[in-house]
Structure 1
Amino acid sequence: MADGQQDRGHTGRWTRRLYGALGILMLVLGIIGILLPVMPTTIFLILAAACFGRASPRWEAYLLQHPQFGPPIVAWREQGAISARGKAFAVLGIAIGLAVFWYTVDPVWWLGALVSIGMAGCAIWLLARPTPRTS
């Protein structure tokens, strides 16, 4: 076997392992998000499914077919859509986070304005995403 072929196979194996490890990390963060109201869940599960898609088709299929977590992941993949409930929770979390920031940090005006603009931009982007179409 040529050296280039050995390197590609070796790299492929390590790449799959890296994606698998990242998938597990994202899955753990998603599970933590289920338990902690201030931590998101769906985005970490979307990232976990993307990582598992490159590392383990079995784990990817498990997430996509999960009765609770599968529909938001599939809606994002197929339509770039976020449910109205998901948007509401995300924007509420952003608003609470911004309020806590202003209450606890007492930043200089330009830093506070920059953080506020960034968080408002995220909220606007979330609200601009379509809601899932039912088929």
Structure 2
Amino acid sequence: MPTTPFVLLAAFFASKGSPAFASWLEGHPSFGPAIRDWRRNRVIPAKAKVLACSMMALSWGLLFFVGAAGMVLAISGVFLAGVASYLLTRPSY
């Protein structure tokens, strides 16, 4: 699974429950820029989109090659395609 949506969710919920944790997350060298860009302009960097979509495709491919059940492939495929389409429809810089 891609990290970007989870980092954004963590930032959202942290800002509601723990201002100290939210501040730490925003100041983090890896996560901070993505969170600030999302809050200011609702943008996701193109590099993050490519990485997220690649990892989702790799994850689904791994499920396929290990012989996961058809229902698992279908449900995970729909979910991953939904997340990918959301990411790809958000603006980049």
Query: Are 1:50 and 2:12 an aligned pair?
Result: yes
- Of structures 1 and 2, the one scoring higher in RCO (CA 8 A, sep 6+) is 2
The alignment partner of 1:105 has SS state of coil
Q: Are the counterparts in 1 of residues 34 and 44 from structure 2 also a CA contact under 8 Å?
A: yes
Inter-partner Cα distance in structure 2 for 1:118 and 1:59: 29
Query: Are 1:123 and 2:84 an aligned pair?
Result: yes
**RMSD between aligned alpha carbons?**
2.2
Return the index of the structure with the highest Cα Rg: 1
Query: Are 1:61 and 2:18 an aligned pair?
Result: no
- What TM-score, normalized by structure 1, do the two folds share? 0.56
How much identity, in percent, do the aligned residues show?
35
* 1:101–1:126 CA distance, 2 compared to 1 (3 A): same
Segments of structure 2 that go 5 or more residues without pairing to the other structure are none
Q: Are the counterparts in 1 of residues 11 and 22 from structure 2 also a CA contact under 8 Å?
A: yes
- What TM-score, normalized by structure 2, do the two folds share? 0.75
The alignment partner of 2:66 has SS state of helix
Segments of structure 1 that go 5 or more residues without pairing to the other structure are 1-38
Inter-partner Cα distance in structure 1 for 2:74 and 2:91: 28
Paired residues, what number? 92
